[in-house]
Amino acid sequence: MIEADLILRGARLLTLGPLKDERPRVGVAAGDVGAVNDGFVAARDGMIVATGHGRTHERFTRVEGALDKDVGGRVVMPGFVDPHTHLCYAGERWEEFATRRSGADYLAVLAAGGGIHATVRATREASDDQVLALLRRRIGDAAELGTTTIEVKSGYGLEPEEELRQLRLLARAKAEAPIDIAVTYLAAHALPAPFTDDRKRFIREATRALERVVDEKLAEAVDAFVEKGVFDIEDVRPLFNAAKKAGLAVTMHADQLNDVGASAFAARIGARSADHVAHASADGIRALARAQIPAVLLPGSAFFVGYAPPEARRFITARVPVALASDHNPGTSPLEGMPTAIALGVTLCGLTPHEAIVAATINAAHALGRGGRIGALLHGRRADIVVLDTDDERELAYRMGAPLVAEVYAAGRRVA
């Protein structure tokens, strides 16, 4: 007998299944949301115990205090997974936002000590309590917009000691968060001033900090900004090798503004994902396809900075798993929430609405190494569920900015 403490029924249910195996979705499956009309999902103790359609749920036992609800034909789908954000910062960048015109300008702003350096200063000057309060608010805002798993990077400390401070604050935020947080140590975001003439020494120190990251269980993955004039492949190779050896996943900002061969490099070293990839070469795309490494498209920064967005069809036709993320950060992608990322993924990158939903759920889960646990409404997965205020999920892409997220459940508990 199935016992449930949460049943949502009478739904247009997007299961994002059936999945043949635990691999990310490519090819035809990249646009298949597994829709079931008159569907239901049942959960117990935070895990999904059954999904189906019609009235079979009537046989289930409702435990005391169970929430049993007819959603009236509205869409019920997996909670969104946002696999790339920089939520851990203080300070806004209004001036830069108001004056910047193009991606080329972004590198010029960076060289002039603006850009990320402005955020680094503000974040260092903010107290622990201030940073924690900001993190709490941003995680709460993400949950309101339907995100039930979010990756958050450090990266505005630059110097290893400051990065460790951010990671420790993230650990505190994670412990009390209503949704799941995947923490990433962004070890090489920009070269801090004291190391201007010695990037090798900087990488050595960032690599040394890995030991404490592992000892204190501060992060699941290590990230680096591999870009012209920032860090090149040879710079970051020792860092990534050490990270893998220590049992951490590796991910990178790859080929965002220029093709520097980072996508192929990500494939070679078995990265968890390759992110941005707007300028990935054909070789880079083939390498990602062969290794089945998700390409995380971040249309928000293309939109705000004004550079050419990644063309999703190049990845989809090559059978690269495609994921979407908000890339929320104060400099290049201040957008909030996955519905906006979905809308931009469709209008700017050329995904279909259903491909964008796959990219924001199951494929994004794979980009965080959680492809077997979340991202789909299937028996045995965490009950991370969103109810939309519509009977057509394509509205997520179409009615940009509309308040479509009506209810959000994380591990079976209502969080928004």
Binding piece for Zn ion, criterion CB under 5 A, among 177-185, 319-327, 384-392, 396-404: 319-327
Q: Of 17 and 345, which has the nearer Cβ to Zn ion? A: 345
Q: How far is CA 357 from the centre of its chain?
A: 13
Give min distance, CB of 376 to Zn ion, in A: 26
- Bridge partners of residue 35, in order along the sequence: 14
Q: Of 276 and 382, which has the nearer Cβ to Zn ion? A: 276
Total residues contacting Zn ion by CB under 5 A comes to 1
Contact 261, 229 (CB under 8 A): no
What one-letter code names the amino acid at 260? V
Binding piece for Zn ion, criterion CB under 5 A, among 34-42, 205-213, 230-238, 321-329: 321-329
- What distance in Å separates the CA atoms of residue 54 and residue 44, rounded to the nearest whole number? 20
Binding piece for Zn ion, criterion CB under 5 A, among 15-23, 89-97, 141-149, 324-332: 324-332
Residue with tokens 């965002």: 256
Q: Of 5 and 336, which has the nearer Cβ to Zn ion? A: 336
Give min distance, CB of 324 to Zn ion, in A: 13
Give min distance, CB of 252 to Zn ion, in A: 10
Distances (CA, A) of 261 to 70, 241, 318: 51, 17, 17
Determine how many CB atoms are found less than 10 A away from the CB of residue 128.
Answer: 11
- Nearest in space to 323 (alpha carbons), one of 282, 374, 247: 374
- What distance in Å separates the CA atoms of residue 180 and residue 191, rounded to the nearest whole number? 30
Give min distance, CB of 224 to Zn ion, in A: 11
CA angle 197, 198, 204 (to 5 degrees): 160
Give min distance, CB of 296 to Zn ion, in A: 9
Binding piece for Zn ion, criterion CB under 5 A, among 115-123, 238-246, 322-330, 400-408: 322-330
- Bridge partners of residue 147, in order along the sequence: 80
* Segment 325 to 344, residues that bind Zn ion, using CB under 5 A: 327
Binding piece for Zn ion, criterion CB under 5 A, among 19-27, 58-66, 323-331, 363-371: 323-331
Spatial strand order in the sheet of 80-82 = 80-82, 147-153, 180-188, 221-226, 249-254, 273-276, 295-297, 322-324
Give min distance, CB of 163 to Zn ion, in A: 15
Cis bond before residue 339 (omega within 30° of 0)? no
Minimal CB distance residue for Zn ion: 327
Task: Write the interaction track for Zn ion spanning residues 277-316; mark x where CB under 5 A is met and - where it is not.
Answer: ----------------------------------------
Q: Of 5 and 327, which has the nearer Cβ to Zn ion? A: 327
Q: Of 46 and 369, which has the nearer Cβ to Zn ion? A: 369
Q: Which residues bind Zn ion (CB under 5 A)?
A: 327
